[in-house]
Amino acid sequence: MTTKTVTVAGIIAQHGPMIAHIDQTTPDPDLTPEGFINLLQENSRLLATSSSSRFQETAEELASAATYLADALTLPDDDPQQQTLLNHANRRLNRIDPYL
């Protein structure tokens, strides 16, 4: 069984449009990893204030993904733990309803 390698750039490319939709902005093709993490954190804080349980669950997923990504960025590219953290972040973002 082959394992797909998840990268920060791949996560941004896959989930950036969804985050822009939540943020009601246009996707930024030049978004840096740090900028993407900031967007996740900002949107998490915004959605967490909602009385909607759906928005609150999304806020938790965004916050968790931001934490996993931030932690992954502190590790060298050849550290196997980095891939684990990127996989966790990607799974969290995959759980979000893109039509939020």
| 53 vs 100: which has the higher pLDDT | 53
Do the domain assignments include residue 24?
A: no
Domain residues for the domain of 69 are 31-100
Residue 45 resides in a domain: yes
User: Where are any strands of DSSP class E within the chain?
Assistant: none
The pLDDT, as a whole number, for residue 2 is: 55
Torsion of CA 51, 55, 60, 62, to 10 degrees: -140
Is 11 domain-assigned? no
- pLDDT confidence bin for 6, thresholds 50/70/90: very high
What is the number of structural domains in the chain?
Answer: 1
Q: How far apart are CA 93 and CA 61, in angstroms?
A: 7
pLDDT of residue 88: 98
Q: Is the pTM of this model over 0.85?
A: yes
- Check pLDDT > 60 for residue 1: no
In a domain, 20, yes or no: no
In a domain, 25, yes or no: no
Write out pLDDT tens, residues 21-80.
998 999 898 999 999 999 999 999 999 999 999 999 999 999 999 999 999 999 999 999
2 falls within a domain: no
pLDDT of the residue at 46: 95
Identify whether 69 is part of a domain.
Answer: yes
